[in-house]
Amino acid sequence: MDIHEYQAKEILAGFGVDVPAGALAYSPEQATYRARELGGDLWVVKAQVHAGGRGKAGGVKVCTTEAEIQNGCEEMFGRKLVTHQTGPEGKGIYRVYVEAGVPIEREIYLGFVLDRSSQRVMIVASAEGGMEIEEISAEKPESIVRATVEPAVGLQDFQCRQIAFKLGIEPAMTQQMVRTLQGCYRAFREHDATMVEINPLVVTGDSRIVALDAKMTFDDNALFRHPQIAELRDKSQEDPRESRAADRGLSYVGLEGNIGCIVNGAGLAMATMDTIKMAGGEPANFLDIGGGATPERVAKAFRLVMSDSNVQAVLVNIFAGINRCDWVAKGVVQALEEVQVDVPVIVRLAGTNVEEGQKILAQSGLPIIRASTLMEAAERAVGAWQNDLSHETNVRVVK
Ligand code: GDP
Ligand code: MN
């Protein structure tokens, strides 16, 4: 789960990271009022959307008068901000963060990520701040400083000093850098984050180290341990299909294709998407309905997959190990009686009691296309929409 910049800054500030003074606003009027409260003569108004690259897309405005804040906000509120990270549909701007402007001397890139190959939290930093990390690694890979944290002992101060030295931080400011790095690391660990990114971390004209931007991502599977983080979720920033799935306890990722997938098991779901591609099609989603695959879950899955108007065929791929195919088949039949599905449905069952399962599908009277292997199922799914067989294979159940 992602959170907004202002929320990440509040968390990091709680761990001793220096951030600019700022206040949140829900309207242009409120933004000017907030600026007046903050005082000073330089403000930065920042669109709060779950994506980076706002600066280049008009989502960050440096203002010197109240009129500039008002006009800047009027351009932003209610609009969709399209950055290179949002996709072409963009993300809605419903909140802005007003900050006191900071005199920037130097910009640094700082990131904390989970490095899967070393199974450690890894710190990635570069003196080339302001650029995205992808650009830095393409153009200035030698500038990147890395350090991994040994989980048993945590981040050590000497590691922080080493990073500060490699980034060319002045000796008098080394201690501030240590405090910043330790604060970020603790915020990361204590909230089960998967990423903390500060880009840019700046050295100011008055020798402070300040987080000018902040981004945090959390492990969805650990959110139950952090109710105060879970509350920060902002559904206006999520793919509506994915929000619906998360609310129903299903693991769903929306994609661009037109073959809907309903699968039990994440690995099998990945293999199903690969096989659809091999057969010349494009999956519309990743969906793992979990091991149970009860009729209720299958019905929920059909509703979710069919809510995507691009879907032109649905492939159900269930491997019954602990589960039983006859039981799953009953679930599929029951789901198709409850949910209106007007595209071809291809079902591949394998595992325990597969014959009984096939019999239930055949005897249901529903025009389900059955397949015995995954490849066959994928080919039939691709064939079904390519040849526009939908008029022959429609499953139309109106209740
Ligand atoms: P992003 O484009 O979404 O990553 O948004 P950032 O928060 O990183 O802001 C983009 C850029 O705006 C920064 O790299 C800075 O150059 C500039 N910026 C942000 N805050 C300030 C500020 O307080 N003072 C000045 N002078 N520039 C700022
Ligand atoms: Mn940034």
CATH assignment at residue 68: 3.30.1490.20
| Own/partner long-range contacts of 244-250 (Cβ < 8 Å, ≥24 apart) | 244/304, 244/307, 245/287, 245/304, 246/220, 248/300, 248/304, 249/290, 250/287, 250/288, 250/289, 250/290, 250/297, 250/300, 250/301, 250/304
The verdict on whether 185 is a catalytic residue reads no
| 254 plus 352 within the same structural domain | yes
Q: Looking at the predicted structure, is the pLDDT value of residue 398 above 90? A: no
* 359 lies in the same domain as 267: yes
Q: Which position has the higher pLDDT, 73 or 248?
A: 73
User: Are both 289 and 190 inside the same structural domain?
Assistant: no
Q: What is the pLDDT of residues 179-205, one digit of tens each?
A: 999 999 999 999 999 999 999 999 999
CB 275 within 8 A of CB 250: no
Four-point Cα dihedral 330, 248, 87, 236, nearest 10: 150
Strands 259-263 and 313-320: parallel
Give the confidence band of 399 by pLDDT, cuts at 50, 70, 90: very low
- pLDDT tops 60 at residue 391: no
79 CA from centroid of ligand 1 (Å):
20
Averaged pLDDT score across all residues of the chain: 92
Calpha distance 286→397 (Å, rounded): 25
Q: Domain of 302: which CATH number? A: 3.40.50.261
The sign of the CA dihedral 278, 280, 285, 289 is: negative
The region that residue 280 occupies, defined by phi over 0 for left and psi between -120 and 50 for alpha, beta otherwise, is: left
- Domain termination site, one of 43, 78, 101: 101
Scanning the structure block, which residue is given the tokens 């059955």? 370
What sign does the CA torsion over 323, 326, 328, 334 have?
negative
Reported confidence tier of residue 213, pLDDT bands at 50, 70, 90: very high
Assess whether 87 and 127 both reside in one domain: no
Residues 307 and 378 in one domain: yes
- At residue 257, the pLDDT reads 95
| Whole-number pLDDT of residue 386 | 75
Give the end of a domain, one of 207, 238, 269: 238
pLDDT digits (tens, 9 = 90+) for 321-380: 877 888 888 888 988 988 888 899 999 999 999 999 999 999 998 889 999 899 999 999
Is 379 found in the same domain as 267?
yes
CATH number for the domain harbouring residue 195: 3.30.470.20
Mark whether 37 is an active-site residue: no
Residue 396 in tokens: 């139309």
pLDDT in tens, 288-337: 987 766 778 888 899 899 989 999 999 999 988 877 888 888 888 988 98
Is the distance from CB of 79 to CB of 31 less than 8 angstroms?
no
38/155 same-domain check = no
> Cis link prior to 200 (omega < 30° from 0)?
yes
> Are residues 249 and 233 part of one domain?
no
Amino acid 388: pLDDT: 52
Report the nearest atom of ligand 1 relative to the CA of 199. 8
- What's the N-to-C CA distance of the chain in angstroms? 37
Q: Please report how many Cα atoms fall inside a 13 Å half-sphere around the Cα of residue 108, on the Cβ side.
A: 27
397 has pLDDT over 50: no
Same domain, 278 and 376: yes
Per-residue model confidence as pLDDT tens digits over 67-122: 999 999 999 999 999 999 888 889 999 999 999 999 999 999 999 999 999 999 99
Catalytic residue among 6, 109, 185, 252: 109
Look at ligand 1, atom 16, and give the residue with the nearest C-alpha.
130
Q: Which of 78, 101, 124 is the last residue of a domain?
A: 101
Tell me, yes or no, whether 15 and 25 share the same domain.
no
Contact 203, 173 (CB under 8 A): yes
pLDDT at 117: 94
Q: Into how many domains does the chain fold?
A: 3
pLDDT tier at 394 (50, 70, 90 boundaries)?
very low
Residue 101 Cβ contacting ligand 1 at under 6 Å: yes
Distance from residue 46's CA to the centre of ligand 1 (Å)? 8
pLDDT over 90 percentage in the chain? 75
Do 66 and 140 lie in one domain? The reply is: no
- Which residues constitute the domain of residue 207? 1-19+103-238
**pLDDT score for 290:** 79
Q: Is the CB of 54 under 6 A from ligand 1?
A: yes
Q: Are residues 186 and 222 in the same domain?
A: yes
